[in-house]
Amino acid sequence: MEKGVAYDNDMNLKATELRLGLPGTDESQKEYSSFVKSNKRSSEEMDSSCNEEECAPAPKALVVGWPPVRSYRKNVLQQQQKKSDSDVSGMYVKVSMDGAPYLRKIDIKVYKNYPDLLIALENMFKCSMGVYSEREGYNGSEYAPTYEDKDGDWMLVGDVPWDMFVTSCKRLRIMKGSEAKGLGCQ
C-alpha cells in the first residue's frame, strides 16, 4: 500500500509512512480514546482509513455513539447537510455580457444583496447599470442585468427578494439597455 504522495528529492520516507490524517499534519495530533485500553472504532471508520489513506478528509465518527446525539437527529441533520452542501461550495453562475468575447463566472453566494451584486458586475465588466426601480427597471442605463431562472425564463434582476433570487438564478446576462426595454418594465 505505498501510494506515492509527492516525491521529494531527498527520499522523504516519512511521506510514505502509513498513518491516518492529511499529509503534512503533525503526528502528535490528539488521538481519541487514547487513555482507554481498547481502541474501539466504528467499523465504517476502519474501512475508510484502509482505502483512502492520507487523501481522505480527517476521519469522522471515530467513536461509536459520540458525540451523544440521537440517531434520529443525526439522520435529519445529515440529510439537511447533503442539501446544503451545494451552498458550502458556492453558487457559481455564468455571466455573459452582450458584445463581450467571453463569459465570466461569479459566486452569487458571496453577495448579501442586489446593490453588492450590481457593483461587482459593473466592476467586472466596466459598464454601468444604474439603479433598479420597480416601475422602470434599469431604464436610462447603458446596460441592464437579467437572469435565467429555474423555469428557463429570462427575468430582470431585482424584482424578487434577494434570497429567492439566489436560489432560482441559473445564469446572468448583462443586456444592452436598448434591448432590455421590452422586459416587462411598464
- Which helix or strand (DSSP H or E) is residue 105 part of? strand 104-107
What's the min distance (Å) between Cβ of 61 and another protein? 5
Nearer to another protein, 32 or 92 (CB): 32
- Grid coordinates given for 88: 458550502
Contacts made by residues 8-16, CB under 8 angstroms, sequence distance 24+: none
How far apart CA 65 and CA 44 sit, in angstroms, is 13
What's the min distance (Å) between Cβ of 12 and another protein? 26
How far apart CA 45 and CA 170 sit, in angstroms, is 38
How far apart CA 65 and CA 40 sit, in angstroms, is 11
Nearer to another protein, 73 or 126 (CB): 73
Q: Do residues 100 and 126 touch, judged by C-beta distance below 8 A?
A: no
Residue 72, Cα to own-chain centre: how many angstroms? 27
What's the min distance (Å) between Cβ of 3 and another protein? 23
Nearer to another protein, 2 or 163 (CB): 163
Q: Which residues of this chain interact with another protein, rule CB under 8 A?
A: 30, 32-38, 40, 58, 60-61, 63-74, 76-77, 80-81, 83-84, 161, 163-164, 168
What's the min distance (Å) between Cβ of 19 and another protein? 16
Of 150, 149, 154, the closest CA to residue 175 belongs to: 154
Nearer to another protein, 80 or 139 (CB): 80
Nearer to another protein, 64 or 100 (CB): 64
What's the min distance (Å) between Cβ of 175 and another protein? 24
φ, ψ (nearest 5 deg) of residue 49: -70, -30
